[in-house]
Amino acid sequence: MQEFNTFYFEKFEFDKTSLKAKFFYSFDKKEFFEEIIDFSSDLFEIKNTDEGILNNLLFHAHIALWISYYKLFPTKKLIIKSWFLDKNAIKFWEIFYLNWLWEFFIKNDFDFNNILNFENILDLENLQNKKIKNLEEKSLLMWWWWKDSIVSSILLEEEKREFDAFVFGKIDKIKFDTLEVLWKKTMLVKRELSENLFKLNNQGYYNGHVPITWIIAFVSLISAYLYGYKNIVLSNEASASEENTIRKWLKINHQYSKSAEFENDFREYVKNYIWDINYYSLLRNKYELEIAEIFSKKAKKYFNTFSSCNRNFVINWKKQENRWCCNCEKCAFVYLILAQYLDEKEIINIFGNNLFNNKSLIETYKWLLNLSKNKPFECVGTYEESIISFRKILETYKNKIKSWEIIKLPYILEELWNKI
């Protein structure tokens, strides 16, 4: 593996005719990357195209998208050639990336001392917020195949608020199926990653998950501006703010870019440096238990289409064979919190299996219930939510028959029922 010393934010370009943006990066001027984001849509009408505002928005997307390439070989030196960040802006970016990168560093046993040193080479005036007038009181709802965005859509419809769906990257089979049920206009922003990323991955350079919510946050600002939306709505719940583990007094949260801390910091940063958009999570004050209850009662039409399995979130989406892998931490957690609200037939119809009889998940459930190791580095709820759900399910089984002693429990319930 060739080592690199400096990561360069080279430049960005935008074609107002095709509505395609290009973002360029390099390691040491030796390995180059070009990413393309396509903002064009036949379903929506362009409202705003001010060049100054667009350049500001594109620059910030440039600083957000880089992480997909930087994580190949994190360098200590970062040179910004495409525009300028003042000291306060640099502090914001450093805090975010350090909060996200802790997990990456731990998994890859990487030395993170004195990492992330942003340097400007252009002497420009500070970026400033601009007032944008041509916006409509409507919302872009970030859409995944998960139960959370489905619950957000239900709440928006109940409040009779106008919204459209927003998808970043591609519309794969599961998204397509859930969008068919949603039946709303969908804004698809297509992404083309640099081929050099995959080449270096194959050569053994570092890999790991990216803070996709963070990336989408800055990309969605461009879409909202171009097409005149005043609100960007997410579906991040209160549980996302809990850390997965603590190392050397540092709280490490796999879901940092979904946390309340990030959301507040992002909103303040955008207000100061870009524009005062209404960016928020509709589920911020709700925990997974409440979201699961709403979903179980009001989203039955989605039962045969949705998924919350992150192993389906792959670059080559054609690999999706099933909506649930039934072996990961996310499947185990979602099964657990839904099982307390659905009858056994309903929950098995959704997953295709009774996950409480999957012996390979016993350690996973111990992690979720705080009986072993740290909480998995996954998008799962709090320990307390898992324990409450587990106890409620056990109580349901107990009440089904008179003689608790002779009940035949599913394997995992039987193994763990007296340990929590």
Query: Left, alpha or beta for 368 (phi > 0: left; psi -120 to 50: alpha)?
Result: alpha
- 244 or 301, higher pLDDT: 301
What pLDDT is recorded for position 39?
Answer: 98
Integer-rounded Cα Rg, in Å, for the chain is 23
What pLDDT is recorded for position 317?
Answer: 44
What pLDDT is recorded for position 412?
Answer: 87
Predicted confidence (pLDDT) per residue in 303-343, tens digit: 999 988 877 655 444 455 678 989 888 899 999 999 999 98
Predicted confidence (pLDDT) per residue in 109-127, tens digit: 666 667 778 899 887 766 6
- Of 310, 317, 332, the residue nearest 254 (C-alpha): 310
Chain length of the chain: 420
* Average pLDDT value for residue range 100-107: 70
Asked whether residue 214 carries a pLDDT value surpassing 90, the answer given is: no
What pLDDT is recorded for position 309?
Answer: 85
**Distance of alpha carbon 26 from alpha carbon 263, whole angstroms:** 29
What pLDDT is recorded for position 130?
Answer: 66
* Average pLDDT value for residue range 23-37: 97
Domain boundaries, the chain: 6-131+186-281, 288-416
Is residue 414 within 8 Å of 404, Cβ to Cβ?
no
- Of 392, 385, 178, the residue nearest 291 (C-alpha): 385
Predicted confidence (pLDDT) per residue in 152-177, tens digit: 999 999 999 999 999 999 888 888 99
Q: Mean pLDDT over all residues of the chain? A: 86
